């Protein structure tokens, strides 16, 4: 391997030290993908990739989603920089990107450009580790449950008292019912929860909500979480198939700006 590694916590996160040149050449893609699946989050401190370099590096890892400007989506709460900025306010809640879809994205790469003076740290929770550490009876319970995911629950977090018109608009996006435990082709299992999870199939709203909240609290305990304090130029990659993430609230006018590149999903939830 042409890089050095150092774990950030026992259960999630590894820092990779490698030169830009080695990363961009592409020969490391497979090793990095494997490490990502094992560790959930990879950090490259102050790598300072330009947007074009980030795109080139992402292509060594998988197929890039056509989002934003040529594969670079600006994470910013400033509507002048991001016309879906409104939606990003929901990222302060634990979530899995695209959990309301059949095939969530594979992973995302995030480079910090401008930091907020207040808040803006990003937290990641390893949901493979959270499943593995469940006591046997709770594993069996989780294995048996199916969870309804929807765009509506993302919106509800921001607009708790919706009008009929808002509800109708949100409900244009179909719901998805997913198992609470995603059994991957690798044979490993991860919990699938987060903001899109609204209720449990076949249960009352209240009972389902209580079980989802309990499981969510389990999965986000400190031993499963890595919290990143950004330095400008840091690059983080997270495995979106086995990690939930959220950002600590920051002011909309803070100037905080990150460049995100996302890899196409490779595995339907099963
Ligand atoms: C995302 C996201 C968190 C952040 O890019 O999907 O949730 O720290 N970002 O801005
Ligand atoms: Mn996100």
CATH number at residue 41: 3.60.130.10
Q: Give per-residue pLDDT as tens, 132-187.
A: 999 999 999 999 999 999 999 999 999 999 999 999 999 998 899 999 999 999 99
Neighbours of 270 (CB within 10 A): 11
Is pTM, for the whole model, over 0.95? Answer: yes
Total domains in the chain come to: 1
SS3 55: helix
Ligand 1 in contact with 115 (CB < 6 A)?
no
Decide if 269 is inside a domain: no
Residue 116 belongs to some domain of the structure: yes
Secondary structure element (H or E) that encloses residue 138, with its range? helix 136-144
- Rg from Cα positions in the chain: 18
What is the DSSP-derived secondary structure letter of residue 89?
A: G
In a domain, residue 270? The reply is: no
Band (pLDDT 50/70/90 cuts) for residue 63 is: very high
**152 CB less than 6 Å from ligand 1?**
no
- Whether the per-residue pLDDT at 45 is higher than 90: the answer is yes
Domain assignment of residue 268, yes or no: no
Count of residues making up the chain: 270
Q: How far apart are CA 64 and CA 240, in angstroms?
A: 14
| 37 touches 186 (CB < 8 A) | yes
Cα of 84 vs centre of ligand 1, distance in Å, is 13
Contacts of 169 (CB under 8 A, 6+ apart): none
Q: Considering only CA atoms, which residue is closest to atom 7 of ligand 1?
A: 91
On the question of pLDDT at 16 being above 80, the answer is: yes
At residue 86, the pLDDT reads: 86
Question: Which of 101, 246, 255, 265 for mutating ligand 1's site (highest number of atoms within 8 Å of CB)?
Answer: 246
CA of 145 to the centre of ligand 2 (A): 24
Question: pLDDT-based confidence at 26, cuts 50/70/90?
Answer: confident
- Host domain of residue 108: 4-263
Model pLDDT, residue 1: 62
């Amino acid at each position: 391997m042409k890089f050095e590694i150092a774990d950030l916590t026992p259960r999630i996160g590894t820092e990779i030290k490698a030169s830009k040149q080695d990363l961009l050449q592409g020969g490391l893609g497979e090793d990095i993908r494997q490490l990502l699946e094992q560790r959930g989050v990879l950090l490259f401190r102050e790598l300072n990739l330009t947007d074009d370099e980030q795109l080139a590096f992402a292509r060594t890892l998988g197929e890039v989603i056509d989002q934003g400007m040529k594969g670079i989506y600006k994470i910013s709460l400033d509507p002048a920089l991001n016309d879906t900025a409104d939606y990003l306010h929901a990222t302060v809640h634990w979530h899995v990107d695209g959990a309301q879809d059949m095939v969530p994205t594979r992973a995302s790469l995030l480079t910090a450009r401008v930091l907020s003076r207040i808040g803006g740290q990003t937290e990641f929770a390893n949901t493979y580790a959270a499943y593995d550490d469940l006591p046997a009876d709770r594993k069996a319970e989780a294995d048996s449950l199916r969870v309804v995911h929807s765009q509506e629950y993302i919106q509800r977090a921001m607009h708790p008292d919706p009008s009929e018109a808002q509800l109708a608009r949100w409900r244009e996006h179909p719901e998805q019912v997913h198992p609470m435990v995603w059994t991957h082709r690798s044979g490993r299992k991860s919990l699938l929860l987060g903001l899109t999870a609204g209720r449990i199939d076949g249960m009352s709203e209240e009972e389902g909500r209580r079980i989802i909240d309990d499981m969510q609290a389990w999965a986000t305990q400190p031993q499963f979480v890595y919290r990143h304090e950004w330095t400008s130029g840091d690059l983080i990659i997270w495995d979106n198939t086995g990690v939930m993430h959220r950002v600590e609230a920051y002011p909309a006018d803070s100037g905080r700006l990150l460049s995100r590149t996302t890899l196409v999903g490779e595995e339907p939830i099963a």
